[in-house]
């Protein structure tokens, strides 16, 4: 790596790889950096941990969503990470950095949204930190437990099928609407403001033999690509498996965009994607959307996808 390399030169995952090389893992670390969450051994079992940082104008905009909505968004992102390991969050810690002139009411409403989202899985906010900054930043760390073995990204095998649980593409449709200064269809805007992760679907999939799993935060193709890379397999996504909801069709027509792109490359819905052994009975709420084969990378209907696969951070 050149001495003058920048974050843009490395990209998000290049930077993660460089940082991970500097983080030695002790014997108590069962799963370290590189998955949706880490797993650490403790005297009474295992703790599953995940952290995300949310920056104003980068991950949310205060003119597009209320403080309560943003509270739901930031909590859902971390709760979904533990869901993707087949676990359930029990506690969150919150870090808030903000300008001194931020209204107290905004911070309190943010907390209300976080608490309301936590209530959906029975988690509690147990601590955190506050500091001043030039812009609003929220750091969330979720801790929880998994009943059996965590489901990792690296377990997919040729012959498995790819399946999805939860809605996908709605938040991307809402973002497209908001970016152009509109507020309708309201259902898509609300999907962007408050994701609805399929909580419980992760543990359900784990119990029924899921071989790999991930939550979709950056884009369906991008995140399926992480599964393919970690597992050393190829994955083909079948577009005929997707039903394009009427609001997505309406936005696509209004914006002159293919609504399928919202589904294939959109993030922030925090649905789950998992692989299951071929011939397995799909759990309730899951639907098959592709297949796992020998090889590498992700294709769509057997061909390379034309365009970005999802969001990039640098």
> Quick one: three-class SS letters along 145-172?
ECCCCCCCHHHCCCCCEEEEECCCCHHH
What residues form the annotated binding site for ATP?
128-129, 153, 217
- Provide the phi-psi class of 84: left if phi over 0, else alpha when psi is between -120 and 50, else beta: alpha
* 8 A C-beta contact, residue 226 and residue 214: yes
Residue span(s) of the chain under CATH 3.90.650.10 come to 153-300
Q: What is the CATH number of domain 153-300?
A: 3.90.650.10
Within 10 angstroms of residue 33's Cβ, the number of other Cβ atoms is: 13
CA distance linking residue 240 with residue 248, whole number of Å: 16
Q: CATH assignment of 35-145, given 1.10.287.3510, 2.40.50.100, 3.30.1330.10, 3.40.50.300?
A: 3.30.1330.10
What residues form the annotated binding site?
36, 50-52, 59, 81, 128-129, 153, 215, 217-218, 268
What residues form the annotated binding site for Mg(2+)?
36, 50-52, 81, 129, 215, 218
Residue span(s) of the chain under CATH 3.30.1330.10 come to 35-145
What residues form the annotated binding site for substrate?
59, 268
- Global pTM? 0.87
Q: Note down pLDDT in tens along the chain; length 314 residues.
A: 778 888 788 887 787 788 788 777 788 788 888 888 888 887 777 889 999 999 999 999 999 999 999 999 999 999 999 999 999 998 889 999 999 899 999 999 999 999 999 999 999 998 888 888 999 999 999 999 988 899 999 999 999 999 999 999 999 999 999 999 988 899 999 999 999 999 999 999 999 999 999 999 999 999 999 999 999 999 999 999 999 999 999 999 999 999 999 999 999 999 999 999 998 888 889 999 999 999 999 999 999 998 888 877 66
Alpha helices in the chain (DSSP H): 7-20, 67-83, 104-119, 170-179, 186-193, 201-207, 220-231, 246-255, 259-265
């Amino acid at each position: 790596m050149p001495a003058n390399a920048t974050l843009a030169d490395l990209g998000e995952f290049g930077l993660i790889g460089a940082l991970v090389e500097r983080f030695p893992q002790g014997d108590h670390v069962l799963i370290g950096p590189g998955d949706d969450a880490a797993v650490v051994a403790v005297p009474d079992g295992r703790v599953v941990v995940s952290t995300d940082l949310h920056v104003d104008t980068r991950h949310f905009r205060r003119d597009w969503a209320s403080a309560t909505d943003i509270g739901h968004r930031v909590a859902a992102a971390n709760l979904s990470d533990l869901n993707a390991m087949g676990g359930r969050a029990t506690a969150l810690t919150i870090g808030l950095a903000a300008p001194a002139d931020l209204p107290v009411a905004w911070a309190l409403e943010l907390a209300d949204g976080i608490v309301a989202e936590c209530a959906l899985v029975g988690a509690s906010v147990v601590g955190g930190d506050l500091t001043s900054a030039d812009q609003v930043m929220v750091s969330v760390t979720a801790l929880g437990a998994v009943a059996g073995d965590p489901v990792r990204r690296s377990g997919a095998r040729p012959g498995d099928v790819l399946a999805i649980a939860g809605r996908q593409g709605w938040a991307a449709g809402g973002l497209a609407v908001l970016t152009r200064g509109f507020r309708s269809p309201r259902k898509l805007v609300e999907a962007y403001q408050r994701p609805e992760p399929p909580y419980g679907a992760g543990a359900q999939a784990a119990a029924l033999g899921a071989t790999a799993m991930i939550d979709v935060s950056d884009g369906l193709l991008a995140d399926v690509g992480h599964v393919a890379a970690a597992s050393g397999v190829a994955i083909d996504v079948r577009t005929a498996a997707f039903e394009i909801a009427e609001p997505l069709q309406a936005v696509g027509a209004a914006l002159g965009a293919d609504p399928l792109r919202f589904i294939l490359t959109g993030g922030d819905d925090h649905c789950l994607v998992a692989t299951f052994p071929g011939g397995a009975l799909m759990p309730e709420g899951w639907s098959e959307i592709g297949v796992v084969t020998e090889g590498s990378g992700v294709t769509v209907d057997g061909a390379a996808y034309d365009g970005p696969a999802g969001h990039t951070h640098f």
